[in-house]
Structure 1
């Protein structure tokens, strides 16, 4: 067995794949930023927004997030679970703390375009104009 094969065999025993996705686009000259977000119990999180620079990939460290993207029903993401959003024009409606008894802490790695904000709040008139793109909860 080659050294490469030995390493690959060893890694199979210690790695756990959390998510694997193909991002829709990566902007030229992209930068990557990793942040930890901490919302207290019951916090509504960021207002509806988008990430114009590109996709974001996240992992819930502690607690439970109410996650909602345009075109998808809201869902709870628990500690140890991953999420992603395509960025660009897609609205991210919720990253709220889904629990009123414990804090939420999650890590996000975002692709950013130099000179653009990492997050842009969506105004109420645009939310109203795009309300048909919002999916109701399955429950």
Structure 2
């Protein structure tokens, strides 16, 4: 038996799992991507009932996320509040848009989600919004649930 025969018979069969392994959970067309952007992926975990980050924005660019555990209370400027359960994706445009809520919608389980943000070098990833600006832009917030 030659060397070439032994390598061809010793090779493991190629996997075909990759052909059906992909599931698209979200597609989006972001409004902009900053020049020289870099990506940052983070995992965020909030305890039961935690309201999450105060109103903020991601000035460097859009953010794309996926809820790993629990349910997220999500609200972005101009859109109604919604609950995103584990296994669902979300995104926000970033830039000047205010992100009002990203808190835990449940008081009995933790919330874990991952977010990939496109960031503009030299810009902070997250900037809190002051109460004065929230008051000035209150007309841009979708009606609150009763």
Give your verdict on TM over 0.5: yes
Q: Which has the larger radius of gyration?
A: 2
- Kindly report which structure 2 residues correspond to 1:104-119, keeping only aligned pairs within 5 A, or say none: 104-119=111-126
- Structure 1 length as normaliser, TM-score? 0.90
What SS does structure 1 have at the residue aligned with 2:84? strand
The answer to whether residue 69 in structure 2 is matched with residue 62 in structure 1 is yes
Unmatched segments (≥5 aa) in structure 2: 1-14
Q: Provide the rounded CA distance (Å) in 1 between the counterparts of 2:137 and 2:51.
A: 21
Q: Provide the rounded CA distance (Å) in 2 between the counterparts of 1:73 and 1:137.
A: 7
In structure 2, the residue matched to 1:133 is 140
* Aligned residue among 82, 95, 103 for 2:89: 82
In structure 1, the residue matched to 2:36 is 29
Unmatched segments (≥5 aa) in structure 1: 1-6
- Return structure 1 stretches of 4+ with deviation > 4 angstroms: none
Q: CA RMSD in A?
A: 1.8
* Aligned residue among 96, 109, 132 for 2:103: 96
- Structure 2 length as normaliser, TM-score? 0.86
The CA deviation at 1:16 is 1.1
Q: Provide the rounded CA distance (Å) in 1 between the counterparts of 2:22 and 2:37.
A: 27
Aligned residues: 132
Q: Provide the rounded CA distance (Å) in 2 between the counterparts of 1:80 and 1:130.
A: 32
Task: Give a deviation string over 1:106-126, Cα, whole Å, max 9, x none.
Answer: 000000011111000000000
